[in-house]
Amino acid sequence: MVRNCLLGLLVVLPLCPQERGDRSDLALVGRIKAEAFDNSRVMDTLSYLTDVYGPRLTASPEFREAADWAVKRLQSYGVENVRLEKWGPFGRSWSVKQYSLEMLEPRYALLDAVVLAWSDRTSGPVSGDAVLATFGNGRQENDPRKMEADLNRYMAEWKGKLRGKVVLLSAARRVPTENQAEFIRYSDRELAELAAAPAPTAKLAELKELKFPDDPEEERRFLQSLPASVREQFNQQRRELTAKRAKFLRDEGVLAVLNNSNVSRDGLVFAQAAGSYDAKDSLSLPTFVVTAEQYNRVARLLEKKIPVKVRVNVQMESSVANQDAYNVTGEIPGGAKRDELVMVGAHLDSWHSGTGATDNAAGSAVMIEVMRILKALNLKLDRTVRIALWSGEEQGLLGSKAYVKEHFGDSETMKLTDAHAKFAGYFNLDNGSGKIRGVYLQNNDAMRPVFEQWLAPFRDQGVTTISIRNTGGTDHLSFDAVGLPGFQFIQDPLAYSTVTHHSNMDTYDHAQASDLMQAAAVIATVVYDAANRTELLPRKPLPKGEPKEKTASDIVSSAR
């Protein structure tokens, strides 16, 4: 029988995948599965990170306590060189101690709400009249020209009218009542769609070419079709205009601000930040996000011209100066190729309304479990395997970006370190607690046959899909930005986007134990294969470097 890979007299053809060491050792995979399933510690780790130490806002005392605990757990498993690796400065710390929001008139009600991060404290419980000072046209604008025009009109309309008031920024909105699935697993059809390459599109040349659809749903799809760099410029524009509005409200003497958790129902609250975490900026006014149902009640009363009095109380601790932040790192030293590196990671930081379980203590617990499995089985690893639990992910992948810049290269200048050439690959988990169904290739076609071999032993557990697509929003992008192989796994959505993501329901109870055990087995196998592969993983061509982000005024000017 003629082999597919021939050694010719004059020409050496590329090695077959199995000759590079890509075909999994099924007996060893069986050992990994047994350790991951029979002796799992993943839910115990998750409980500590959430019930005991959650939530974990970057630079907060809670994050530091969680990080210190993670260091000790990794050390207890025999992981070496475990430490807190400083980066920064990040920004001011912020830790809430007590808060409440109450309607006093026309009837008493304790309102279901969460104070947003980096809100200022109140001088004890303070009361004021609520006012419906709606912003814009009832939906979030994305066209920079319209956003700026809306803000100018808003400030002109409300100047001198808001002192001592509790401001509601939007009108009552319909709470969704349609039957919709809140717990979702990918169907075969959906996985097939993920596996299909997206249709080619022409590259956007300039921002001024953009024409925003008038229909909100069409605009949403239009924005999703734009390059991530363009969307980030719009996000930056929104942040700057939001900061300008916040300054206006503070200068006007507003007591507190209420936002509507308008994308939710059934008492869900989705809570992030009220304003800037940079110590050079003022803390935000006390700002709450309120459940849609209770917010709407207050808004409807005001629409009927019935006076509403609200009492607000926020007690928190915050530093006056910017603080350094920390990533947790540790490693299992390799053997024959110990100067080459395989990395796994997940972000340890979270928002503060829940306990940060599915976003992303779940991923952190899985990666800690991966290191435990590799050590428990005493597996031979040619390359060094390093874990990183990131901070600052929720503020823009800041921890992983800083780490990559220090250790591997600068994405703006593409000045690379020596370690860049000896890096094999990075594997990330950050899409909730759903089991792994495949992997995003991040447009690295050469990795397709490699992952096909590595993931084959898990087809009977639903790991079937290899997608050429890029996926965004998490820390593998920091590695991809300097031309290093970085990958995020495809996971079943479960209730991630519908219930838990950044919400008060992001708790241990919504994590799926069997899914996290499966993820740990899959990733431990992938890491073992990557650490012992003959060659480093194939790479895409080096990026040309990322230009510095345009300012908001640049964006507005170019859109005109």
Instruction: Check residue 555 and give its pLDDT.
Output: 34
**pLDDT of the residue at 144:** 64
What's the pLDDT band for 559 if we cut at 50, 70, 90? very low
- The β-bridge relationship of strands 109-110 and 94-105 is antiparallel
d(CA 66, CA 56): 7
Name the pairing type of β-strands 309-318 and 323-332.
Answer: unpaired
Which of these, 354, 128, 161, lies nearest to 257 by C-alpha position?
A: 128
Name, in order, each residue with C-beta under 8 angstroms of 12's C-beta and a sequence gap of 6 or more.
none
Q: What is the pLDDT of residue 8?
A: 38
Question: Is the separation of the CB atoms in 134 and 170 below 8 Å?
Answer: yes
pLDDT category at 243 given cuts 50, 70, 90 is confident
Check: CB of residue 51 under 8 Å from CB of residue 509: no
All structural domains of the chain: 17-89+324-532 (3.40.630.10), 94-175+206-318 (3.50.30.30)
d(CA 457, CA 459): 6
CB atoms within 10 A of CB 13: 10
- Cα(228)–Cα(12) distance, integer angstroms: 40
Q: Is the pLDDT of residue 418 over 70?
A: yes
Q: Which residue has the higher pLDDT, 215 or 297?
A: 297
pLDDT in tens, 45-95: 999 999 999 999 999 999 999 999 999 999 999 999 999 999 999 999 999
Q: Please, which pLDDT band fits residue 188 given cuts at 50, 70 and 90?
A: very high
pLDDT band at residue 185 under the 50/70/90 scheme: very high
Q: 123 pLDDT exceeds 70? A: yes
Once rounded to an integer, what is the mean pLDDT over residues 281-304? Answer: 95
- Structure pTM? 0.90
Which pLDDT score is estimated for 216? 59
More confident residue, 221 or 293: 293
Exposure string for 312-343, b = 16+ CB within 10 A, e = fewer: bbbebebeeebbebbbbbbbbebeebeebbbb
469 confidence band (pLDDT: 50, 70, 90): very high
Assess contact for 451 and 489: CB atoms under 8 A: no
Average pLDDT, integer, range 211-224: 66
* pLDDT higher than 80, residue 244: yes
- Examine the pLDDT at 526 and tell me if it is beyond 50: yes
Percent of the chain at pLDDT above 70? 85
pLDDT for the residue 71 = 98
The pLDDT assigned to 23 comes to: 81
pLDDT given at position 4: 43
At 7 the pLDDT is: 38
- In the numeric block, the tokens 């697993």 are attached to 185
Crossing angle of helices 513-532 and 448-455, in 10° steps, is 120
Confidence class for position 9, pLDDT limits 50, 70, 90: very low
Q: Phi then psi for 104, rounded to 5 degrees?
A: -95, -35
The answer to whether 365 touches 71, Cβ cutoff 8 Å, is: no
* Residue 19 pLDDT greater than 60, yes or no: no
Q: What is the pLDDT of residues 376-396, one digit of tens each?
A: 999 999 999 999 999 999 999
Residues 89/90/91/97 CA torsion (nearest 10 deg): -120
Query: pLDDT tens across 441-462, in order?
Result: 999 999 999 999 999 999 999 9
Interval 132-179: pLDDT, tens:
998 865 555 566 667 788 899 999 999 999 999 999 999 988 887 666
Which tokens hold the place of 129?
A: 């009249």
